[in-house]
Amino acid sequence: MSVSRLQKLLEFLQNEPNDPFLKYALATEYLTANDPEKALSYFEDLKDNHESYVGTYYHLGRLYEKLDRKDDAIATYQKGMQVARAARDNHALSELQTVYNSAIGLDYEDD
């Protein structure tokens, strides 16, 4: 992780504290830096305060799975699918459906 990139994002967020893209960028930056707790705080902020930000749900769900919080991951994927449908974001909907199916044990791959 580039410290200057993180510092810049934090500075931008000070100027625009309600910008969902900046929060998302910080969350992914912290994931890259292997700091899941800080990433989680930004993703959960997005979920709670910027419900329509579709990109949140896939990454938050995956993070929950890595943190052994499967029920939270499943609920996150379900909510994300609702948000993606409402936004008519079929690409995000497809990705969320795939990880949701996997999380609940419905993998449809042929052997």
Tens-digit pLDDT profile for residues 11-59: 999 999 999 999 999 999 999 999 999 999 999 999 999 999 999 999 9
CA 5/CA 76 separation, integer angstroms:
28
pTM over 0.85: yes
> Taking the chain, what is the end-to-end CA distance rounded to the nearest angstrom?
38
- Name residue, tokens 């990433």: 39
Structure tokens at 59: 């990454």
- Kindly list the domain boundaries of the chain, sorted by start residue: 1-48, 51-111
pLDDT tens-digit series, residues 49-85 = 999 999 999 999 999 999 999 999 999 999 999 999 9
The fold adopted by the segment(s) 51-111 is 1.25.40
Residues with Cβ within 8 Å of residue 68, at least 6 apart in sequence: none
User: 100 exposed, middle or buried (CB, 10 Å; 0-12, 13-18, 19+)?
Assistant: buried
Alpha-carbon gap, residue 54 to 40, rounded angstroms: 16
